[in-house]
Amino acid sequence: MAVRFYRPVFALQLTPALNSFHTPIVGIKSLKLSPASTVNTHFVHLLRRTNKQTYLFNLRLHRLIISSDTKMVETVNGASDLSSEMEVDAFRRLFPLRFHERHLLESVRPDARSLSKARDTSLALGAVASADGSALAKIGSTTMLAAIKMEVMTPANETPDEGCIAIEFHMPAICSPIVRPGRPAEAAPVVSKQLSDTIISSGMIDLKELSLVSGKAAWMAYLDIYCLDADGALFDAALLAAVAAFSHLQIPVVSLNDEGRIVVCSKENEGEKLKNKPVNEEKRKLKLRSIPFGLTCIIHKNFILADPTAEEESIMETLITIVLDSSYQLVSLYKPGGPALAFESIIQDCIALSRQRVKELQTILNEAICDMEVD
């Protein structure tokens, strides 16, 4: 089943009108000649360029189409040819909300998922050799790379037996067309704070395990999460990558040297090893209790869409993020405003979806850990 949209005036009008703007449209002439993949990307550029003039133009076009042709949408069976595909793409860009709502009425999403289904998720541990623990998580095309580096610090006076975790979330310019170098994305510090709140408050890690020499030295775990590809549900993917990196973490064996500094016991300084006994030989792995997993849902009218893509997030703005731990206890619930109100029943439904998702994610994490141990 392919949705087909008829809009005969569109192609004729778009070309000359857009060409007169300051920004030239690249590849517009080749639209009909090039193979499907290049058409799509060019077309996306074309419509992504939302300066004021294009926007006003789109509005005018919108009205024109609505008034002249109210019955544009027709479903056809079988594969669609190139021209109809392009028209659908145009409709999607020009009337995003209507495009999505039409899908929602059929209980399906543009990427052929059902409303409550999350995207395919994969996890690989140990992606970064230079880190002590690392993981690459992929939910749909959203990709997160998390890595942990262990450093030594002097613990604070109030907590002489505790280490520390520093969590930072980065959105480098490569991940999305919205982010430019030097101008950090607005979402990055928000996700960063959410992540560190969630990980600390879930009690997944006992900070006492990070202690080395009471009052003298403790581990500081620097966890950095990089978004390599941003396509919605950033927090869920980042949290998955973070917990996976912690489960992959191998704490280096260290000893206290004569100057009172902590040094790694490696093969090179085996001579020293004899006189300085390792301080943490039996504590190479952290014990993770109650691992938190998150699921973000969109609330739009009466619909709940699990694990939204970036496109869905930008069109339907009410998000709700639920974090449950492995025993399905609620760790955090985050609903940052948005036009739709979350009623109790909706929240209950979201939590039910998260329970399912936690089960899925747990299996994925366990499989990833098994895969690593086999290698």
Partner 1 sequence: MAAKGGAAPATYSPSPTTHKKKRAPIFTDVDWVRPDGRDFHHCRPAFLRTGAVNAASGSAYAEFGNTKVIVSIFGPRESKKAMMYSDIGRLNCNVSYTTFATPIRGQALDNKDISAQLHKSLEGAIMLDTFPKTTVDVFALVLESGGCDLPVVISCASLALADAGIMMYDLVAAVSVSCLGKNLVIDPVSEEENYQDGSLMITCLPSRNEVTQLTITGEWSTPKIHEAMELCLDACSKLGKIMRSCLKESASTSQE
Subset of 209-228 contacting partner 1 (CB under 8 A) = 220, 222, 224, 226, 228
**Minimum distance from CB of 327 to partner 1 (Å)?**
23
Query: Residue 177, SS3?
Result: coil
89-148 positions binding partner 1, by CB under 8 A = 128-131, 134, 141, 143, 145, 147
| Element containing residue 322 per DSSP (H, E) | strand 319-325
What is the footprint of partner 1 within residues 173-212 (CB under 8 A)?
Answer: 173-177, 180-181, 192-193, 196, 200, 207
Taking the alpha carbons of 100, 106, 107, 108 in that order, is the dihedral positive or negative? negative
- Binding to partner 1 by CB under 8 A, coded x per residue (else -) over 267-306, reads --x-------------------------------------
Instruction: Determine the Cα–Cα distance for residues 33 and 366; give it in Å rounded to an integer.
Output: 48
Q: Which two tokens stand for residue 356?
A: 């399912």
Indicate the residue among 77 and 130 with the shorter CB distance to partner 1. 130
What is the spatial distance between Cα 44 and Cα 25, in angstroms, rounded to a whole number?
11
> Which of helix, strand or coil describes residue 355?
helix
Residue 76: both structure tokens together = 């056809």
Q: Which is nearer to partner 1, 31 or 350 (CB)?
A: 31
Residue 42 makes contact with partner 1 by CB under 8 A = yes
161 binds partner 1 (CB under 8 A): no
**Region for 264 from its dihedrals, namely left if φ exceeds 0, alpha if ψ lies in -120 to 50, beta otherwise:** beta
Q: Per rule CB under 8 A, is residue 342 in the interface with partner 1?
A: no
Minimum separation from the CB atom of position 48 to partner 1 (A) = 8
CA atoms within 13 A on the CB side of 111: 18
Site for partner 1 (CB under 8 A): how many residues?
70
The secondary structure of residue 6, as a DSSP letter, is -
Three-state SS sequence of 274-288: HHCCECCCCCCCCCC
Q: Per CB under 8 A, does 168 bind partner 1?
A: yes
Residue ranges binding partner 1 (CB under 8 A): 22-24, 26-27, 35, 37-38, 41-42, 44-45, 48-49, 51, 128-131, 134, 141, 143, 145, 147, 149-156, 159, 162, 164-168, 170, 172-177, 180-181, 192-193, 196, 200, 207, 220, 222, 224, 226, 228-231, 252, 254, 261-264, 266, 269, 310
